[in-house]
Amino acid sequence: MIKILIIGKTSFVGSHLYDYLKNFFYVKISSFKDLVDKDFKNFDYIINCSIHPNYCKLKYNKKFDIDLKIINKIKTYNSKYIFLNTRKIYKQKFNITENFYYDPIDNYSKNKLKTEERLIKILKNRLISLRISNILGKRKFLKNNRAHNLFLDNYIKYRKNGKTMRFNDCYKDFITIDYFNKVILKIIQKKITGIYNLSLGEKIYLSEIVKWLDPKFSKKIQFNYKNREKYSFTLNSKKLLKKTKINISKSQVRSFCKKIFK
């Protein structure tokens, strides 16, 4: 049986991924600080979903790079490594492919790009790097310390505020946590390696997704429809779709959103 180690037991992605993958494989989930060197042996796949707060906020420093620390422990093993990268490494644009030029917008994305470069050199064909768009879903652990906020974390904060707000109606790229889990399953089952975008690949305007999530709350937001392109992006995920043979539609994202707060 395939054995998988997920690191980040209270993380949004890690907790959901564990509940899903344990139906198909032997899966262990742990926090990074609870693991010792021997715990990394004998796993076919290792997926890190944890992150140090300073990795998000500060310039690159390898002492805050949990992915690099893990790789240094497993580099002599045969484990494959699934690295969760971010779409923020790219310049914002419509239909971004994996070959599009990089323009990281903050320390978090700059650090992710540096980590990926290091992992490629060490792991070569044992690396799966996923450049991921916004993932939608509810957190299982609401009170854990967060290194950074998800789209829904910010949305919930604004929703609780209840005041009328104004936002630029740019478009983004979203996937659901359910789809993310299915993609990871296919990557493991089909033994896929390499660098891939993971996304819907369609425009979802903020005015659309806010209405899907809560029509009543959406009426309290005033949207600016000028300069939409400035902060907008979509990723092209055809490379990964060709490998996994599974897709997600905008209508599926809409249906998922409508159920989140019910």
Domain positions in the chain are 3-260
pTM for the full model? 0.94
Max CA separation in the chain (angstroms): 56
Average pLDDT (214-220) is: 88
pLDDT by residue (tens digit) across 115-159? 999 999 999 999 999 999 999 999 988 766 666 778 888 888 888
Contact assessment for residue 191 and residue 176, using Cβ atoms and an 8 Å cutoff: no
What is the pLDDT confidence band of residue 192, given thresholds at 50, 70 and 90?
Answer: very high
pLDDT by residue (tens digit) across 49-83? 999 999 999 999 999 999 999 999 998 899 999 99
Domain range 3-260, its CATH number among 3.90.1010.10, 3.40.50.10490, 3.40.50.720, 3.90.550.10: 3.40.50.720
Q: What is the CA radius of gyration of the chain?
A: 18
